[in-house]
Chain A
Amino acid sequence: ETGVTQTPRHLVMGMTNKKSLKCEQHLGHNAMYWYKQSAKKPLELMFVYNFKEQTENNSVPSRFSPECPNSSHLFLHLHTLQPEDSALYLCASRPTAGGPFNEQFFGPGTRLTVL
């Protein structure tokens, strides 16, 4: 596997379910991100991790719970979601060394539908 991978690619869940999204990066990066992409809205930054430490929580509801056990893996635990949480959830990673500009590399996303 190369780049940034995300599983599952598609997920349908009821409002009372608990599920988790997984992201893995094979690029040796130290920063990882969760974004939400909804129709007719710009990409919304949710969480940022640097060297496994959460450095940004963009006022995300507590029904979304991130976990970063190491610099290569990032999870988003979901529980009691609402239909308006249906969206494409994108994971990204970025190197933290090497210069003032560091590109973010995105995974293909998980398409989440909440019924």
Chain B
Amino acid sequence: QKEVEQDPGPLSVPEGAIVSLNCTYSNSAFQYFMWYRQYSRKGPELLMYTYSSGNKEDGRFTAQVDKSSKYISLFIRDSQPSDSATYLCAMSDNAGNNRKLIWGLGTSLAVNP
């Protein structure tokens, strides 16, 4: 079993749709949960991070963590063509300074005008 599972898609939605992206994980020691966005021919960039459980909102983006189910989600409201990218979840425990991240496969999202 992989430590982090993420459906690679591709996911195609019309402009304005609500998008739900998800990851599941197996390691209960994970405390930091991140969503990175990667545009074509670019490196990943951090979109949001959450510590432990709960929700976090930033504009059209909401990150949710359910540690009891080992499940994290990223919701995008009023999706725009500029949101078309690959979304990667990443996680780490609270140990050490390396912040070794465990990554999902990434979900490819296309928002069609």
Binding site for B on A (CB under 8 A): 4, 31, 40-43, 45, 48, 50, 55-56, 90, 92, 94, 96, 100-109
A55 to B105, CA, bound (A): 25
Please determine whether A42 and B100 come into contact, CB atoms closer than 8 angstroms. no
Interface size of B in residues (CB-CB distance below 8 Å) = 26
Q: In the complex the two chains form, what is the Cα distance from A45 to B3 in whole Å?
A: 14
A115 vs chain B, min Cβ distance (A): 21
- Tell me whether B32 and A101 are in contact (CB under 8 A): yes
Q: Which residues of A contact B2 (CB under 8 A)?
A: 42
CB distance from A114 to the nearest CB of B (A): 20
Residue from the set A40, A94, A106 with the largest chain B CB neighbour count within 10 Å: A106
Most buried by A among B44, B45, B51: B44
For residue B16, give the distance in angstroms from its CB to the closest CB of chain A: 30
Do A106 and B43 touch across chains, with their CB atoms under 8 A apart? yes
* Segment touching A, from B56-64, B67-75, B77-85, B91-99: B91-99
Q: Which residues of B contact A103 (CB under 8 A)?
A: 46, 49
Are the C-beta atoms of A108 and B43 separated by less than 8 Å? yes
Instruction: Closest B residue to A94 by CB, please name it.
Output: B99
Chain B proximity of A61: nearest CB distance (Å): 19
The residue in A4, A48, A104 that gathers the most chain B C-beta atoms within 10 A of its C-beta is A104
Q: Establish whether residues A4 and B8, one from each chain, have CB atoms under 8 Å apart when the complex forms.
A: no
B101 and A104 form a contact (CB under 8 A): yes
3 shortest A-B CB distances, which residue pairs?
A: A106-B43, A42-B103, A43-B103
Decide: B32 and A42 in contact? CB cutoff 8 A: no
Q: Can you offer 30 A-B residue contacts whose CB atoms are under 8 A?
A: A31-B97, A40-B105, A41-B105, A42-B4, A42-B6, A42-B88, A42-B103, A42-B104, A42-B105, A45-B100, A48-B98, A48-B100, A50-B98, A55-B98, A56-B98, A90-B43, A94-B99, A96-B97, A100-B94, A101-B32, A102-B99, A103-B46, A104-B46, A104-B99, A106-B43, A106-B44, A106-B45, A107-B43, A108-B43, A109-B42
